[in-house]
Structure formats: C-alpha cells, structure tokens
Structure 1
Amino acid sequence: MKVIVVGGGVIGVTTAYYLAEAGHEVVVYDRQKAPAQETSFANSGEISSGYASPLAAPGVPLKALKWLGMKDGPFSFRPKLDPKMWLWLARMLRNCTASRYAANKALMMPLAEYSRDMLRVLREGTGISYDERSHGTLQLFRTQEQLDGIASDVAVLDRFEVPYEILDAAGCIAAEPGLAGARQGISGGLRLPDDETGDCRLFTERLAELCAERGVVFRFGKGVFSLEHWGGQVRQITSGDGRVGADAFVLAAGSYSERFMRKLQQRVPVYPLKGYSLTVPVADAARAPVSTVIDETYKVAVTRLGDRIRIGGTVEMSGFDLTLHESRRAPLERSLSELFGGAGNLREAHFWCGLRPMTPDGPPIVGRTKLPNLYINTGHGMLGWTMACGSAKILADTISGREPEIDASGLGPERYWV
C-alpha cells in the first residue's frame, strides 16, 4: 500500500527504509531541503542502549534545582506562558518515583537493545558507513561519590543482562588513552563494551540514498501543513505539493508531531527540550577519544566521529526557541579541554542546537493512533539515534500486519488515553 511519512530525520528515514523493505510504496515529506537537518543534524553521536533511561528519575527534581543555581549547569529553564510547558513538567515530575522509573526504563532498554541489533543487521546487509565505531561507551566519574552512586544503574544492567565493566582510573585510561592527560582526577568509570557511535546525520543521508534506490520518493522542501480526515480515517495531507492521498500515514516529525495530533483532537505529551553540541576537528589523534566518554560532572558526551570530535549535552527547557545561547557553550568546551586537552581545535568549532522531542515518562511513542491508518513514531528524546532502527522496524511490522519481533506493548499513544 501507499504510505506517506511526515518527517525526514533519522526516525522518518529509517521508518521509510523498513516500510520499503516490507514492499510498500513510500513517500517522505519534509520541510527542509535535505534529510537530517534538524534534531538529527549534530547530536552527540552515541548509540548507547545500556544508558537508555528516562529523564524522569528519583532525585531529579532536587538535582534540577541544584543545577539551576550553577552558572554552567547541565539544566537550564526559560519559563514561558505556555500551558503545555507546565503540564508537561508536572507530568514529568509525577514520573520521578522509583516505581515509575523502573517501569519506564523496562520499556526503553529492550527497545534500545533491539534497535542496536537492527542497526547492525542493516549495516551488514547494505554496507552503509557513517563514521561508525564499536568501541563501547565509558561513563566517567571524577569523584568517589559519583562512582559510589552507580549501584542502582548496575542493578538494572544486571537485570537486563547488559555487559559492563567497572573500572578504576587506570582502567579508564586503558580504554581511553587520551584521558592520560586529563587535568582533573579520575575516580573510575562504568564501561558498556557493546555500545556504538556514529554520525547520525551522515547515516540518515546515506540511508535516504539507499531508500531512493529502493523506490522511496522524497519530497524535500515540501512541508506538510495538515492531515485531513473523514469517515474515521486520514485521507490526505495538505503540503507544498497540494493535497496528496495515501492508504496509511506516519507522523515522524519530532517535537512538531504534537501539533499535528492536536489538530486531529488527539493529544500526545511531546515537548521539545533543547540540546547543544560542538563539533571540532581533531588536532591530535593521540589525545582524542576512541569512542564516547560521558562526563558525569557536566552531563556531557564527548564522541569521536572520524576526523571530528562531537561534544554534546545540556538540557534546556525553553519551548521551540532555537536561539544559540553562548552560555551553554562553556560546559561543552570545558569538558573537552579538561578531559582531552589539545585533542581538538576549539577555534574551528561548530556550535549547534536542536530540539529533542521528549515524553514526560521517557519511552517514545510508537504505534497506531485512534485513527486506524495513522501511525506515530516520535518522543525519543535524547535517544532518537539509539532507538531509530528498532522503532522503525516495529512500526513497519505493525503497518504490514506482522507481529513485532519484541514486545512493543506500552510504547503506543494509548498509554496517554486514560
């Protein structure tokens, strides 16, 4: 059947790929002139299934208050007269209990693991390359207090049988030799050897090319203005191409998916949280990271992507504002300089920000809506790159009338209907 996908980021393009693999006629619409020009453009580059956790967690409210008092803290809040902002925040706070955190993480980790496996199958089957590396992720602790606080995370890793290593300072440097010149002390680290890294934008661009070879039509520069429905189904979109019909429709428009759903009288609590990144050319490969190092102190990820280093992090709650605030640059630069001094040329850094589509509970929204031929694939937050292939495969199987390969119950929008 003919399927229209709204959104040309990593979520929309992977969805198109698996739909085409299932034999569907697929058309992708995106307002940008090329794939992966918004949230997927310059994320931190980590594919970290072991770190797939909800933002809403026990202790986060108190930590957020502490971070707000820090000049360069990992969280900033720019309040607006927007009821959706405050409602989303209230719902997120309600999920900051131990029981809800455990339940939400139990949905996210299997999806992330499945997605990593699907990415590997896709890579082996197509030969796609995107500055990928398979050297794991190292969560770095500068203080003994940080290291002592990992017991609950380790318990979850044990529960889901995720391989990990708890390292002392020497072990961290053995895994990431560039840390030998770190300016501050290292107490230890938690390493997940099965995690991967890669350039999300490059992957999306090259996957779009493979999709086009398989017959997928891309209508870049053609924004979708509305989805029109009658008789209990979506019948057509209104776009830069005029009115176009299809048999099924997929919303993969990131944070903007909520606006489409609201016009259809279906509310989903997706809200944008802004993240920032710096991309710098490698100046000294011996000092650069091998893979991804997560700086627990600043909540920043430092990732090697080919001949570049990507430093990504911070959470800013400011609605759909895409202003590049220079104050958010400082913790990114500091993390690179303190851990991998001299590794990258900060004078040639590219500063960027993007809107992460967040749900208040943590898991993405993947599944059928109240309109039986309208599907949604969004709300992945900071884990869109990590969960892209798995979410897309689940949705393609669902649209094709096949049972998904993992239990996807609990991921659909119906969890918000009660």
Structure 2
Amino acid sequence: MKILVLGSGVVGVTSAYYLARQGHEVTVVDRQASPAMETSYGNAGQVSFGFSSPWAAPGIPQKAVKWMFQEHAPLKIQPRMDPQMAKFMVKMFANCNADRYAVNKERMVRVAEYSRLCINALRDDTGLRYEDRQQGLLQLFRTEAQVEAVRKDMKVLAGCGVRHSLLDADACALVEPALARVPGKFIAGLHLPDDQTGDCHLFTNRLADYCRDTLGVTFVFNTTIQRIQRSGSRIEKVITDRGEMTADSYVMCLGSYSPFLAKDLDLDLPIYPVKGYSLTVPIIDADAAPQSTVMDETYKVALTRFDDRIRVGGTAELASFDLSLLEKRRATINMVVRDIFPEAGDYAHAEFWAGLRPMTPDSTPIIGATKYDNLWLNTGHGTLGWTMSCGSASLLADLVDGRKPGIDPNGLSLGRYAA
C-alpha cells in the first residue's frame, strides 16, 4: 500500500519507519529542508517513559494564577484575543481533577512504556547512535509538598510496572554525583532507572537516513502542504505548493499545525501550541555536569547530558504560534541550570531556542483512525513527542494494517473527545 506521511518530525519519521518495516511504500512530505527542524530540533533530550504525566493536574488552575506574578514560573500565559487559546484552557482546566488525572496518566504511561520497548528494539535493529544514554532520570524535589504529591504518581507507576524509587538527598547524589557540590538544594528525588536520553534531532535524522537507504522511504522536502482534498468518505489527494500528491492512505503527523488541515475536513483536533524553550550549553567540566537527565520539579526544567553539551529545556508558554525568543524565559532556564550545576558549562555561549509543543487538553496524544477510511492521526504528543514516538508509531502502523497492536488503543483516538 502507498502511504503518505505528512510531517518529518520525530513522530512522522518513526511512523514512516514502522510502516515501511511492515512492507508499505512510504513517502514523507515536509515544508522544511530536512527532518526534525521544528519542535523536534531542540527539545529537552529526555526520553522519559516513567515521567509521563499530564500537565492538566489537580491544583493547576490555582497555580496558574499564582505563576502569573512570579518571575521564574513553569507556565506563562501571554494575554491575547485568541478564541482557540481560551477554548483550549477551558478544556484543559476541565481535566484538572483527580479522576481525570488518573485516567490520563494511565493512558500516557501505557503509550510511553510501550515506546520504551519499541525504541530499545529499534536501536538493536538499526544500530542507531544519537549521543544516547540509558542511565535513567532523577526528578528532584525542593519541598515536602512535592514529595507527598509524587506518592500518588508512584501508585500509577507501580500499577504499570514502571521501575522507580524515592531517594533521599544523599542517595540522589549517588545517582548524580555533581549534586554533592550543591548541598541543601533538594530534599528528595524520584529515580526512574529505565528512562533514557539523547539528541532528538540527531536521532530523527539518522533514522530518516536509515528509512531512505535501507527501507526505501521517499522524503520530499521544501514542500508546503496547502490543503487535503476529500471525496466522500475518503481522502483523494494532498495539494502542495509543488503539485498534487496521492496515496492509498494518509497519516497526519503535523504537530501543532495539524488542526489547520483537519479543519477543512470537518475534524476538530483539540491541539494547541505550547511554546517551550531550551538552552544548549557547552560542557567545560564533565564531573560538574549531569550524567543523565535531572528534572527540577519546582520550575519544570529538565537538564540532560549529551556527549559534550547540556540541553536545558523548560517553561510552558501559551502564546499562539509566536516563536520569538524572550530573554526573560531564557533567564528562567539559565537560572535553574546555574543553580544546580554552576561549574559545568560555558553559559555565556549557550544556544537559545524555542519550539511549539502540540498539546491536547488531557496531555495524551491522538493516535488512530478518523471518519475518513484512509486518513490516520498520530499527533498531539505535547512535551513527550520523542518519548512516545516509537510506541505511538508502532501502534499506528498496526492499526493501519488491521493487526492486533502491542497495547490497548482504547482512549487514544480522536473518538475520546466525541464521547
């Protein structure tokens, strides 16, 4: 079957990989000149299976008000006349209760844990290297209230079979030795030993090379998708600025931009761009740097070790599709990395970047069929696109083929919003 994948971010390229492995003739189209040039370019670098948690959590509406008046806050809202932003916030706040949080977290962990198995198998099958490490994640807590809150998450992790342990400050420094240089900063940490790290941009590009050279996938770059043309219950063609493209089936992996094309098809995708920032810091003292990923729970900032760099990712900003680089956001993530690893990097020469995370109101991706017989969705992964990419792509490929998938797809399709 000829399949056209729309988008060459990490979700689009992994979708192409699994579809091609199952024997399909796959073409990937993207407006950029190469893979992973938008949201997948400068993400936090963590592949955080056990850390998969909804942004929509109990207490978030109240915290959002408080954060408006804080200099270094994990969530910022840029006031603007944007009906889509208002609609998204109403739906997200409706998920900020204990019952919805438990349902959404289980769905996210289900996909993420499956993705852990899939990326491990992919690495074995392809031999890909991408400055990757398999040394876990350490979520650090500065207050007792944070420790108490994470105990509820630990019950979900245990129910999903995710290995984890709650460590005191001394034990945290055994996992991440550089923390011994900043005593008193943290009182505890949740260690997730099966989480991984790496450069998502490098991973996506090397996987795209493998797909092209080994699996025969075709990549069409510098091509802007203008609209999707339907005929009855089927998609007929994709119209681009370089002509028409046809296939037997179509897979939409366009992240934050998915709703624009879906709207013309009378599909309401509840996806809104949540802007995130990152710094990439050259390492000057390896012993003073993190060994894997450290997550500061207070500021929601992740600090990930690459070979000779630290990737610092954080803050969530509701600002529509504005990609401008705000120095006050840089100040927040710069403050966190210098607070925890003050001697590790050349902070004066850090690369500053921003990207748009495609967030759903319940933080769970949208994977599966639509009302069109030959249109499939794999989008809306929020802050966890790379974490969930392999699992969601493998699930998508099985659904397209009518195979029994490796996990239960219940609650992951667009249909959950209709319900």
The answer to whether the Cα contact below 8 Å between 1:184 and 1:338 also exists between their aligned partners in 2 is no
User: In the TM superposition, what is the alpha-carbon distance from 1:184 to its structure 2 partner?
Assistant: 4.8
Q: Which one-letter code corresponds to 1:209 in the other structure?
A: D
User: In the TM superposition, what is the alpha-carbon distance from 1:409 to its structure 2 partner?
Assistant: 1.5
Match of 1:370 in 2: 371
User: In the TM superposition, what is the alpha-carbon distance from 1:3 to its structure 2 partner?
Assistant: 0.5
What is the CA–CA distance in structure 2 between the aligned matches of 1:157 and 1:410, rounded to whole Å? 19
Matched, 1:97 2:97: yes
Match of 1:115 in 2: 115
Could you state the TM-score of these two structures normalised by the residue count of structure 1?
Answer: 0.98
User: In the TM superposition, what is the alpha-carbon distance from 1:49 to its structure 2 partner?
Assistant: 1.0
Q: Which one-letter code corresponds to 2:132 in the other structure?
A: E
Q: What is the aligned-residue identity percentage?
A: 50
| TM-superposition CA deviations, 1:103-137 (whole Å, max 9, x none) | 11111111100001100000011100011101110
What is the CA–CA distance in structure 2 between the aligned matches of 1:239 and 1:174, rounded to whole Å? 54
Q: Which one-letter code corresponds to 1:383 in the other structure?
A: L
| TM-superposition CA deviations, 1:155-179 (whole Å, max 9, x none) | 2222222111111111111100111
User: In the TM superposition, what is the alpha-carbon distance from 1:145 to its structure 2 partner?
Assistant: 3.4
User: In the TM superposition, what is the alpha-carbon distance from 1:150 to its structure 2 partner?
Assistant: 2.1
User: In the TM superposition, what is the alpha-carbon distance from 1:401 to its structure 2 partner?
Assistant: 1.8
SS in 1 for 2:207: helix
User: In the TM superposition, what is the alpha-carbon distance from 1:82 to its structure 2 partner?
Assistant: 1.8
What is the CA–CA distance in structure 1 between the aligned matches of 2:40 and 2:108, rounded to whole Å? 20
Matched, 1:11 2:11: yes
Matches of residues 122-137 of structure 1 in structure 2 within 5 Å?
Answer: 122-137=122-137
Matches of residues 297-336 of structure 1 in structure 2 within 5 Å?
Answer: 297-336=298-337
The answer to whether the Cα contact below 8 Å between 1:279 and 1:309 also exists between their aligned partners in 2 is yes
| TM-superposition CA deviations, 1:311-370 (whole Å, max 9, x none) | 001000011111111100112111111111110111110000000000001210000111
Matched, 1:159 2:159: yes
Moved more, 149-158 or 331-340: 149-158
The answer to whether the Cα contact below 8 Å between 1:289 and 1:302 also exists between their aligned partners in 2 is yes
What is the CA–CA distance in structure 1 between the aligned matches of 2:158 and 2:231, rounded to whole Å? 49
Match of 1:198 in 2: 198
Matches of residues 4-403 of structure 1 in structure 2 within 5 Å?
Answer: 4-182=4-182, 184-213=184-213, 214-403=215-404
SS in 1 for 2:50: helix
| TM-superposition CA deviations, 1:281-338 (whole Å, max 9, x none) | 1110000100000011211000001111000010000111111111001121111111
SS in 2 for 1:396: helix
Moved more, 313-322 or 396-405: 396-405
User: In the TM superposition, what is the alpha-carbon distance from 1:97 to its structure 2 partner?
Assistant: 1.0
Moved more, 124-133 or 70-79: 70-79
SS in 2 for 1:377: strand
What is the CA–CA distance in structure 1 between the aligned matches of 2:220 and 2:184, rounded to whole Å? 50
User: In the TM superposition, what is the alpha-carbon distance from 1:261 to its structure 2 partner?
Assistant: 0.7
User: In the TM superposition, what is the alpha-carbon distance from 1:260 to its structure 2 partner?
Assistant: 0.7
SS in 2 for 1:76: strand
* Number of equivalences: 418
SS in 1 for 2:244: strand
Q: Which one-letter code corresponds to 2:377 in the other structure?
A: I
The answer to whether the Cα contact below 8 Å between 1:60 and 1:96 also exists between their aligned partners in 2 is yes
What is the CA–CA distance in structure 2 between the aligned matches of 1:375 and 1:146, rounded to whole Å? 39
User: In the TM superposition, what is the alpha-carbon distance from 1:80 to its structure 2 partner?
Assistant: 2.2
User: In the TM superposition, what is the alpha-carbon distance from 1:263 to its structure 2 partner?
Assistant: 1.0
What is the CA–CA distance in structure 1 between the aligned matches of 2:186 and 2:396, rounded to whole Å? 43
What is the CA–CA distance in structure 2 between the aligned matches of 1:240 and 1:344, rounded to whole Å? 44
What is the CA–CA distance in structure 1 between the aligned matches of 2:182 and 2:133, rounded to whole Å? 23
User: In the TM superposition, what is the alpha-carbon distance from 1:240 to its structure 2 partner?
Assistant: 3.1
User: In the TM superposition, what is the alpha-carbon distance from 1:56 to its structure 2 partner?
Assistant: 0.7
Moved over 6 A (4+): none
What is the CA–CA distance in structure 1 between the aligned matches of 2:373 and 2:144, rounded to whole Å? 52
Moved more, 84-93 or 71-80: 71-80
SS in 2 for 1:390: helix
The answer to whether the Cα contact below 8 Å between 1:254 and 1:356 also exists between their aligned partners in 2 is yes
| TM-superposition CA deviations, 1:211-254 (whole Å, max 9, x none) | 10111110011111111111321011111330121100011000
Q: Which one-letter code corresponds to 1:88 in the other structure?
A: F
What is the CA–CA distance in structure 2 between the aligned matches of 1:184 and 1:29, rounded to whole Å? 50
| TM-superposition CA deviations, 1:391-410 (whole Å, max 9, x none) | 00111111112121110111
Moved more, 154-163 or 93-102: 154-163
User: In the TM superposition, what is the alpha-carbon distance from 1:79 to its structure 2 partner?
Assistant: 2.4
What is the CA–CA distance in structure 1 between the aligned matches of 2:233 and 2:38, rounded to whole Å? 32
| TM-superposition CA deviations, 1:367-403 (whole Å, max 9, x none) | 0111110001101000101000000011111111212
SS in 1 for 2:119: helix
What is the CA–CA distance in structure 1 between the aligned matches of 2:261 and 2:355, rounded to whole Å? 20
Structural RMSD (CA)? 1.1
User: Mind listing any 5+ residue stretches in structure 2 that lack a counterpart?
Assistant: none
The answer to whether the Cα contact below 8 Å between 1:183 and 1:338 also exists between their aligned partners in 2 is no
User: Mind listing any 5+ residue stretches in structure 1 that lack a counterpart?
Assistant: none
Could you state the TM-score of these two structures normalised by the residue count of structure 2?
Answer: 0.98
Q: Which one-letter code corresponds to 1:10 in the other structure?
A: V
